[in-house]
Amino acid sequence: RGRGVGYLSGKDLLSLSVSGPMIRAAGIPYDIRKADPYGIYDRFDFDIPTLPNSDIFDRYYIRLLEARESVKILKQALRDLPNGEILGGKGGYTLRPPEGEVYSRIEAPKGELGFYLVSDGKANAYRYHVRAPSYINLNGLGPMSVGYKVADAIVILGAIDIVLGEVDR
């Protein structure tokens, strides 16, 4: 049912700023954890699975392949976890962001989750913006639905795999 349905080329997905499993299901081997490692991801051995067809089936199946890679990462992290307390000491303090601006991103399950912050040096940020992957990935819904039946739109939307809380603005 999902093979060949909801196709959109990798080039078109990138032009819409789509990220994460959706571009990897279109054959694009991009993952922020490999391209721009953060935290301790550079210590882990894992692959970036890709599939070639950029359809509903591949968008579903890529998530299964990525779950296997997540298990590989977790096994390595648990193996290297030091003994003792993990979050010892005091907590609950607020960091005052220094004056300036910064954009930082991570590879979230749905794609690039980015945070843009502008600070004037006071206790709270002057400007704060979140790049939510579900919101951005929804840009593909219209182009992916062209030429298909109305009933297919529901399945195409499901394959985008949105989180409604990210989309509600």
What are the structural domain ranges in the chain?
Answer: 10-81+135-167
Structure confidence at residue 88 (pLDDT): 65
∠ CA(149), CA(152), CA(154), 5° rounding? 130
* For the chain, percent of residues with pLDDT exceeding 90: 78
Residue 155 pLDDT exceeds 80 = yes
Residue 12 pLDDT exceeds 90 = yes
User: pTM above the 0.85 mark?
Assistant: yes
- What are the tens digits of pLDDT across the range 43-69? 999 999 999 999 999 999 999 999 999
Residue 93 pLDDT exceeds 80 = no
- In which element (H, E) is residue 100 found? strand 100-108
DSSP states of 25-65: TTT----HHHHS--TTGGG--------SS-SHHHHHHHHHH
Residue 98 per-residue DSSP state: P
Bridge partners of 104? 115
Residue 41 pLDDT exceeds 90 = yes
Structure confidence at residue 169 (pLDDT): 78
Closest-CA residue to 144 (of 62, 54, 43, 21): 54
- What are the tens digits of pLDDT across the range 123-151? 888 999 999 999 999 999 999 999 999 99
- In which element (H, E) is residue 127 found? strand 127-131
Residue 101 corresponds to which tokens in the numbers above? Answer: 């601006």
